[in-house]
Amino acid sequence: MHLTIKDGWLEGVRQLRSPNFDRRPEDAQPTLLVVHGISLPPGEFGGGHIDRLFTNELDPCAHPYFAEIAHLRVASHVLIDRAGEVTQYVSFLDRAWHAGESSHCGRSRCNDFSVGIELEGTDDFPYAPVQYEALARMVVSLRSAYGSLREAEIVGHCDIAPGRKTDPGPAFDWTRLQAVLAGLPGPRYV
């Protein structure tokens, strides 16, 4: 199934708009795809906590870990949950606050020129097969919609913020993503 993107937004997916974004610099086009892994609380899935973090509504008293992160103002462009369902938080035309201090190929501030895709998961627990399928469809759709992403590299958060971030971690199977992408029509460079 091809995902349709109109005016920076995926059609037919859940949209929950985050305030944690701003405009990309005038001369910046997205040229990088960044895969993240997230679970809240760590190691637990479901519960809507990621939505609340990305919309600045996370209750710091709901879990001891939340007290450490509730003040953060972060969001990726999209989240792919364990069931392969997609939620979009920020338009692809805007700069989502997902990468933090980062650099890629000598360019700093990766948020300026990247699209952030969160997968609900952890560094050490296998991601679900439907997440790879949804991610591959997302990659093909983004590359079809935006010429600047046609041959964009796909990297992990760990690759652009080494020593600071480890996600999506060793549990993420890059070979599996490549295999799923190879089976889809459209631009699929990995």
Residue type at 100 in one-letter notation? G
Measure CA of the first residue to CA of the last residue in the chain; give whole Å: 19
- The rounded distance, in Å, linking the Cα atoms of 120 and 40 is 9
- The rounded distance, in Å, linking the Cα atoms of 182 and 180 is 5
- The rounded distance, in Å, linking the Cα atoms of 123 and 20 is 24
Three-state DSSP at 114 gives strand
Do residues 150 and 16 lie in contact, with contact meaning Cβ atoms separated by under 8 Å?
Answer: no
Q: Which residues are known to be catalytic?
A: 118
